[in-house]
């Protein structure tokens, strides 16, 4: 079965929830575009990248992984309001659920991270 078939038939839920953050967020820089000429070990050009943030929350007496495409800085024990697509982890081969967040509001500090 191809990956495009799996993505088309995958069901996700889009809703929001208020929860507590279980750990500090991790921010990763993910390369997505390269312009230039690669020569053995040296490349002339530029590598463009995007930021992604991950953290876990307590939800339904378990943990849920949150992925936010962008910079989202939260700390342990922050109260969060999260909106996005929720995927069941069993369909993806992992234990627990995953949220691909569109909006993360830190209720403890009042900071809002939202994708436009």
| pLDDT band (50, 70, 90) for residue 8 | very low
Residues in the chain: 116
What global pTM score does this model have? 0.73
Instruction: Tell which wins on pLDDT, 111 or 92.
Output: 111
Q: Residue 3: its pLDDT value, please?
A: 36
Domain ranges of the chain: 14-26+47-112
Q: pLDDT digits over 30-71, tens only?
A: 887 777 776 766 666 666 788 999 999 998 878 888 999 999
> Which CATH code is given to the segment(s) 14-26+47-112?
2.40.50
Query: Which H, E and C letters describe the chain, residue by residue?
Result: CCHHHHHHHCCCEEEEEEEEECCCCEEEEEEEEEEEEEECCEEEEEEEEEEEEEEEEEECCEEEEEEECCCCCCCCCCEEEEEEEEEEHHHHCCCCEEEEEEEEEECCCCCEEECC
């Amino acid at each position: 079965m191809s990956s495009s078939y799996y993505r088309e038939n995958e069901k996700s839920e889009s809703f929001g929830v208020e929860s507590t953050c279980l750990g500090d967020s991790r921010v990763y820089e993910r390369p997505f575009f390269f312009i230039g000429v690669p020569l053995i070990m040296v490349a002339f050009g530029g590598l463009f990248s995007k930021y992604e943030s991950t953290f876990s929350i307590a939800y339904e007496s378990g943990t849920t992984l949150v992925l936010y495409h962008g910079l989202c800085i939260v700390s342990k024990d922050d109260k969060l309001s999260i909106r996005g697509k929720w995927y069941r982890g069993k369909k993806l081969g992992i234990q627990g659920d995953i949220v691909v967040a569109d909006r993360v509001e830190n209720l403890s500090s009042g900071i809002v991270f939202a994708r436009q």
